Structure 1
Amino acid sequence: MMLDTDLMDVLGPVRDVHVAAILESMASELSAGADVDAEPVDRDGDGRIRRRAPLSLPSRCDLRVSRDGRMMTLRALSSRWLCFEPIALPLSERAAARVAPFRWGAATVEARHALAKPDWTPVRLWYLEWFQARFGEESPDLLGVVHALEGPETAPDGWRFTVDLGSASVAGFVAMLHAFGSTGCSDIRVGEAAIAL
């Protein structure tokens, strides 16, 4: 599946709403005199990267803010919700995806109808690739990275994940769909409305 203009026209604004919320939070904290670190990796007190089970993945928060001798992490979730008609996308001869309205910072993904236990390696590799900083023109003040992937949890007919796509591009989202389509699951659904179909 190519990253065509129609897909970019639909998903670009979904990403833009989330990225704008991060940038607005950053601007607000900077104007209040705080030191702000954008999209830092979650580490323990000894500086080691924390990893989340069961896929042993690192994570990021939106912002780490230092002010008045205190440090805190912030998550910037916009209250705006963009509606669009659900999209059906072929991923391969065997797998297809349905994408319904979702929040870029908290996307629900269901992988369904596997003939055997899915191999989550493609999803793990996608995540680790898009976790790496990749500055670009889309968000010059951010890293262009995914922030977190939680799951899999057992769900009706398959497995459920929650993905914080952070400041990753629409190309990163499309790569995620292909990764899920390579797990042995034939039906990939993003967004609560797609899950209900």
Structure 2
Amino acid sequence: MTLVALLERIRRPYIDQLSHAATGPGFHVEPVVRRPDGSPAGDGLLDTPCRCDLVRKALGGVQSVDAAECVGIEPLRVELGGVPVAVSAFSWDWLNLHIAGIPDAEVNTLMRAWFLRWFDADDAYPRNAEGLRGVVHFLGDPARAGDGLRFRIDLGSAPASAVAELIEDLLRHGATGLALG
């Protein structure tokens, strides 16, 4: 099984739930949290915006979709370009990503750029076959974790290839270890 295939398997339970919930009437699907002037509301050290899963049109209430199951996978370790990449079970809407070997400022810049590329603040991306936007929802502030930084990410409806792209970017910029879990 390829890494992208494994990521797609992890993604599927959350996407099925979000896609099903999004078919209900009366919801804004994956809306960007915006300021009164309409601009995306950035927050945190990296000043990143966020998206909600669903917002009721009539009442404005936010509805989160939490993956009912975490795909049971045995923790595995692969080497990509000689760099160890550990993958353990996680839910698509709550990934902990540990990155070692890249200076903090550089990894923060890389993470923010990747996030914004997959966020689509202008809602320009067409809906995918699942009726969703194919976007990430949230990037938490970096936290020191041993020999690197840890990020919490809600991968939203982004495709598995978005995570594969992130891994490739991090490896290209000198990551000496990655852990997804």
Aligned mates of 2:170, 2:86 — CA distance in 1: 12
Q: Give, in angstroms, the shift of residue 112 of structure 1.
A: 2.3
Match of 2:118 in 1: 130
TM superposition score normalised by structure 2: 0.85
Decide which structure has the larger Cα Rg and report it. 1
Q: Which amino acid aligns with 1:10?
A: L
CA RMSD, Structure 1 to Structure 2 (Å) = 2.1
Aligned mates of 2:67, 2:22 — CA distance in 1: 13
Q: Which amino acid aligns with 1:48?
A: S
Residue 44 of structure 1, aligned match among 35, 46, 52: 35
Alpha-carbon distance change, 134 to 14 in structure 1, aligned in 2, over 3 angstroms: farther
Q: Give, in angstroms, the shift of residue 91 of structure 1.
A: 4.0
TM superposition score normalised by structure 1: 0.79
Aligned mates of 2:111, 2:165 — CA distance in 1: 9
Match of 1:63 in 2: 54
Q: How many pairs does the alignment contain?
A: 176
Q: Give, in angstroms, the shift of residue 6 of structure 1.
A: 2.8
Report Cα offsets for 1:104-156 as digits up to 9, x if no partner. 00001111245x4451222221111111235433x2x1001111110201122
**Equivalences for 1:1-80 in 2 at 5 Å?**
6-27=2-23, 29-30=24-25, 35-67=26-58, 70-80=59-69
Q: Give, in angstroms, the shift of residue 50 of structure 1.
A: 0.6
Match of 1:112 in 2: 100
Match of 2:140 in 1: 150
